[in-house]
Amino acid sequence: MSSKTVFVTIAGRANAGKSSLLNALIGEKIAMVSSKPQTTRTKITGILTEGEIQYVFMDTPGLQKAKNKLGEYMNKTVRESVSGIDVALLVTDITKKTNDIELSLIQNFKENKTPAILVINKIDLVSDKEQIAVSIAELAGLYDFKSVIPISVTENDGIDIVKSEVTKLASDGPHYFPDDKLTDQPEQVLASEIIREKLLNLLHDEVPHGIAVVVEEMQERVNRNDEDILDISAVIYCERESHKGMVIGKGGAMLKQIGRLAREELEAFFQIKVNLQCWVKVKEEWRNREGIIRNFGLSNNSSNT
Q: What would the pLDDT profile of 154-168 be if each residue is shown by its tens digit?
A: 999 999 999 999 999
The span from the CA of 242 to the CA of 244, in Å, is 5
CA 90, chain centre distance (Å): 14
Q: Per-residue pLDDT tens for 52-84?
A: 999 999 887 655 554 544 445 444 554 554 556
Look up residue 125 and give its DSSP letter: G
User: Mean pLDDT over residues 277-292, rounded?
Assistant: 81
Highest mean pLDDT among 8-17, 42-51, 88-97: 88-97
pLDDT band at 184 (very low <50, low <70, confident <90, very high): confident
Q: What is the pTM of this model?
A: 0.72
Which residues in 87-227 belong to E strands, given as ranges?
87-93, 116-121, 147-150, 171-172, 212-222
Residue 32, burial from CB neighbour count under 10 angstroms (0-12, 13-18, 19+): buried
4-12 vs 87-93, strand pairing mode: parallel
Residue 212, burial from CB neighbour count under 10 angstroms (0-12, 13-18, 19+): buried
Q: Per-residue pLDDT tens for 45-60?
A: 899 999 999 999 988 7
Mean per-residue pLDDT of the chain: 83
Give the DSSP per-residue string, 17-55.
Answer: SHHHHHHHHHTS--S---SSTT---S-EEEEEEETTEEE
pLDDT band at 305 (very low <50, low <70, confident <90, very high): very low
Asked if the model's pLDDT at residue 150 lies above 90, the reply is yes
Q: What is the pLDDT of residue 222?
A: 92
Closest CA to 66 of 89, 37, 43, 95: 37
Asked if the model's pLDDT at residue 232 lies above 90, the reply is yes
Asked if the model's pLDDT at residue 303 lies above 50, the reply is no
Closest CA to 45 of 54, 53, 35: 54
Residue 188, burial from CB neighbour count under 10 angstroms (0-12, 13-18, 19+): middle
Q: What is the pLDDT of residue 32?
A: 63
Q: What is the pLDDT of residue 57?
A: 93
Percent of the chain residues topping a pLDDT of 90: 46
171-172 vs 4-12, strand pairing mode: antiparallel
Q: Per-residue pLDDT tens for 242-281?
A: 889 999 999 999 999 999 999 999 999 889 999 999 999 9
pLDDT band at 37 (very low <50, low <70, confident <90, very high): very low
pLDDT band at 302 (very low <50, low <70, confident <90, very high): very low
Which residue type is seen at 55?
Y
User: Mean pLDDT over residues 10-20, rounded?
Assistant: 87
Q: What is the pLDDT of residue 148?
A: 95
Domains within the chain, CATH numbers bracketed? 4-172 (3.40.50.300), 187-295 (3.30.300.20)
Highest mean pLDDT among 48-52, 96-100, 236-240: 48-52
How many DSSP H helices and E strands does the chain contain? 9, 10
